[in-house]
Structure 1
Amino acid sequence: MTTTSSAVKNSSNNFLPPGLVSNLQEVLLKRKGADDPDPQSQSSSAAKPPTVNDESVEPSSSSASNSGRVDDQPDSDTSKPVILVTNGDGIESPGLTHLVQALVCLGRYNVHVCAPQSDKSASGHSLTMRETISVSLAEIDGATAYEVSGTPADCVSLALSGALFSWTKPLLVISGINRGSSCGHHMLYSGVVAGAREALISGVPSLSISLNWKKDQSQDNDFKDAVTACMPVLEAAFGDIEKGVFPRDCSFHIEVPTSPLANKGFKLAKQSLWRSTLNWQAVSSNRHPSSGRFMSNQQILGMQLAQLSRDASAAGAARRLGTQKKNVEVVESVGVAGKSDSNRTLRYFRLEFLDKDQGGEDEDLDFRALENGFIAITPVFPQSQVESETQVAASDWVSRALKVGQ
């Protein structure tokens, strides 16, 4: 893994904010242990992150007067800033587990977790509007953690509302680490990116992290290496937020290459047009091989029964049970609600993502940087960044359309 300051790509066409670069270079130099040539002590230095003066950090804002909130666990140290962690893969995923462990080991922050109880990795920025979500305590050493039956955006919105925790504005929201890339158009589908985006919309600094997981090559321990590889960026973000110089108008999505510790350094990237082909396949049943990846059989059964109990009709029950089984949809009518239909037909389809390269040849695009072995850092904006030519073309079309309609 590249650990020198030269790993931070910084040119006229490809640069990180100057303050973030300075902070990142400082962290990398300290981790390198330049003053100690001994490899063993160098490794020890890399394992111990640089300290930050906690006395200069104001405690996260409180909302203790909210009588409807769930009380925090009593061992929280309110003198430390709060870091909120969520993800898209579910609270039991190894990416979240290793990230939280590393943050807890820093010893400088209160680590709080509010994450989906099951895999919501392709849920986009959806919110639960017409159903009640459930929240329960989860056991994660050193952290105050809750698992939520909703989406990543639900989790962050709930956590920032003051109804669940005694604070409403953490120092930083970190979403991840997700299993699989979220480059290009996948950011639109990504639950892990949506978790960070929801924080940004609420005015809270945020980062999201994905690992470029490859089915027959990657292992769960790669998430631990991904945390190690990303820690200089996290440290730089902590420092800049505490100084008040972290960018306010965007979040950052961090893509970690398949072999995290063999990365070539950090590179600012641009969101590409890379996308996958959505491939729907007819299947014989509604069973999905990955539906219980992070859940026990008992949890899956409990979720199905709870979901079914909320459905008053046969049609609603069929649709919602299909939703619980990832990427499966009932596509034909099941008859009039509440009435049996002996002639009804249920057909099942499963969605698969097939790689399709439409991203271009620019080396600064997110997926190109990732393929080339860099840790790609892509700014994420709360609204679409429309190019001037596109804006002009859109304005011209609207003008012509309105004239035709008159």
Structure 2
Amino acid sequence: MAASSGDDSRRPNPLPSALVSNLQSVLAARRPPPTEDASVTAAAAETSAPAAADDGPAKPVVLLTCAGGIQSPGLAALVDALVKGGRCDVHVVAPESDKPVCGHSITIRETVSATSVDFTGAKAFEISGTPVDCISLSLSGMLFAWQTPALVISGINAGPNCGYQMFHSSAISAAREALMYGVPSIAISLNWKKDETKDSHFKDAAGLCLPLIHAALADIEKGTFLSGCLLNIGVPSSPSANKVIIMS
């Protein structure tokens, strides 16, 4: 596991068995403590998000998008895992159809429409534009009551996103858009292989990534999430049989 930053060359490459603990140990100071106004906004968001089981502190908001579209199995698997995990309040804004290889494209000279959709355990919208449009519109404050989410996740997308592919990837671009807004972000991709990968593998991938997401949320809450980078997670085909995750 490696997190992209200017001083990566001074950190050793950890063993795969220590992925989660190393994620927590290498991340540097990130976020200031929330202001009183932000707390008020977060409380307002609770009225539209799933109710907490008790009167404890509000859960962090996680915003999801997926280049595969609102109906993609990867998005559904990740939402289901996060909702069942109970660690955060889940919000979804995704394209109304598959938007692969869009890069960091945005919609201009056209109206971008947003339509509320049913998504078990999450408040969700489908957008007529690109994945970057989804993040930009969400973080503008036009769709949700919260001021800003704690974390943005792009995924789980079908197909690898590494090397030169990252320049064209809609999935990476959506996470990069969040980073440009100063919001921590993660991109997750499953190495899809034709006639081999099954939709059920997205569920396995979500379960494999859930501890990493929870570790990131813990660091964000402590103010120790690494500044100025996004995490790009690559899950291998048949993740239940191949549990080594590539992170960059």
- TM-based fold match above 0.5: yes
Structure scoring higher RCO (CA < 8 A, sep ≥ 6) equals 2
SS for the counterpart of 1:162 is: coil
Aligned to 1:377: 247
> Equivalents in 1 of 2:38, 2:183: separation in Å?
12
C-alpha distance in 2 between matches for 1:208 and 1:243: 21
- 3-state SS of paired residue (2:226): coil
Aligned pair partner of 1:61 in 20, 38, 54: 38
Aligned length: 222
Backbone CA RMSD of aligned residues: 2.9
Q: Which residue of 2 aligns with 1:106?
A: 85
Decide whether aligned partners of structure 1 residues 254 and 22 sit closer, same or farther in structure 2, where only a CA change above 3 A counts.
Answer: closer
1:154 counterpart = 2:133: yes
Aligned to 2:3: none
1:370 corresponds in structure 2 to none
For residues 23 and 180 of structure 2, the distance between their equivalents in structure 1, rounded to whole angstroms, comes to: 25
- Describe the SS at the equivalent of 2:119: coil
CA contact (8 A) 1:160 1:167 kept: no
235 and 260 in structure 1: CA distance in 2 versus 1, 3 angstrom threshold: same
Q: Which structure has the larger Rg over C-alpha atoms? A: 1
Decide whether the 8 Å contact of 1:125 with 1:195 is kept in 2: yes
1:181 counterpart = 2:160 = yes
Distance 2:184 2:90 in 1: 15
How far is 1:108 from its partner?
2.9
Query: What amino acid sits opposite 1:375 in the alignment?
Result: I
Q: Distance in 2 between matches of 1:23 and 1:62?
A: 27
Q: C-alpha separation between the residues in 2 aligned to 1:225 and 1:261?
A: 6
Runs (5+) with no aligned partner, structure 1: 1-10, 26-55, 65-70, 265-373, 379-406
What is the CA-CA distance between 1:75 and the residue it aligns to?
4.9
**Which residues of structure 2 form unaligned runs of 5+?**
1-9, 26-32, 53-57
Cα deviation 1:72-128 (Å, max 9, x = unaligned): 974544932211000101010000000001111122321000110101121111111
Residues 223-262 of structure 1 aligned to structure 2 (within 5 Å):
223-262=202-241
The whole-number CA distance in structure 2 between the counterparts of 1:138 and 1:237 is 28
Change (3 A) 1:158 1:241: same
Q: Secondary structure at the match of 1:198?
A: helix
Looking at structure 2, the residues matched to 104 and 59 of structure 1 have their Cα atoms a distance apart, in angstroms, of: 27
Q: Contact conserved, 2:187 with 2:232, CA < 8 A, in 1?
A: yes
Task: Report the Cα offset of residue 172 of structure 1.
Answer: 0.5
1:306-317 map, 5 Å = none
* From 147, 153, 159, the counterpart of 1:168: 147
Cα offset, 1:140, TM superposition: 0.6
% identical aligned pairs: 50
